[in-house]
Amino acid sequence: MTHTRFKINEMFETIQGEGVFTGVPAVFVRLQICNVGCAWCDTKQTWTAEPEQQRSFGDIILKQGDDPTWSEVSADDIVVMYNQQGFNAKHIVITGGEPCEYDLTELCKAFEAIGCQCQIETSGTSEVRVTESTWVTVSPKIAMKGKLPVLTSALERANEVKHPVATEKNISQLDELLAQAALRKDVVIALQPISQKPRATELCIETCIERNWRLSVQTHKYLSIA
């Protein structure tokens, strides 16, 4: 059996700051590699995995701040490190980068085996490969630099569609995407203002009230936590 190797940028315990699980204690597993190219991305250090930036997992777990260093590890390595660090949170957020560059099934199974619940945060531009019980948050990235289409299969697997919004055009783009997919009946649709811009926030609030959608606020940025 071939085991997936993951390039990991960082792993830390904090509070989930956005989406359905806002306020829930969580361990974030941030994976390296992303080809989407969002202009406003706040984790551009995860876009590539340069060989000279490879480090030991021990170095990665101690890292402070954003930098492009990474370590190549297995699912078992990640769970062992979770236990060694004495993390309390049972909610695991697998993010990136673009986590769906990898088959995440093995990693989700490894965490579920020790009583954790997994959530992934994906752009929807790669195939979603996770366990059935994994909570899938798709944050559609439309017409980005990488020119990757948002996959209908990703939208149809989503438990939550959390859409970044700057202008009304972004809402129209989301409408077009959703019209093409057979969404889950219980899917949560949330709008998230980009970069806490006042007009974007106002637009999201108005639209959420009108459509009975949910507002996602990046509370971690207001609280100045990771």
Residues of the binding site for S-adenosyl-L-methionine: 40-42, 97, 139-141
Query: What CA–CA distance (Å, rounded) separates 141 from 154?
Result: 12
107-110 long-range contacts (CB < 8 A, ≥24 apart) are 107/4, 107/6, 107/29, 107/75, 107/78, 108/133, 108/134, 109/75, 110/75, 110/76, 110/78, 110/79
The single-letter DSSP state of residue 167 is S
Binding-site positions: 15-17, 30, 34, 38, 40-43, 95, 97, 139-141
What's the rounded Cα separation, in Å, for the pair 173 and 22? 25
**Listed residue (55, 38, 5, 28) closest to 145, CA to CA:** 38
Please state, in angstroms and rounded to a whole number, the distance separating the CA atoms of residues 47 and 43.
Answer: 8
Binding site membership for Mg(2+): which residues? 43
Taken in order 45, 51, 53, 59, is the CA torsion positive or negative?
positive
Binding residues for [4Fe-4S] cluster: 34, 38, 41
Spatial distance between the Cα atoms of 79 and 132, rounded to a whole number of angstroms: 19
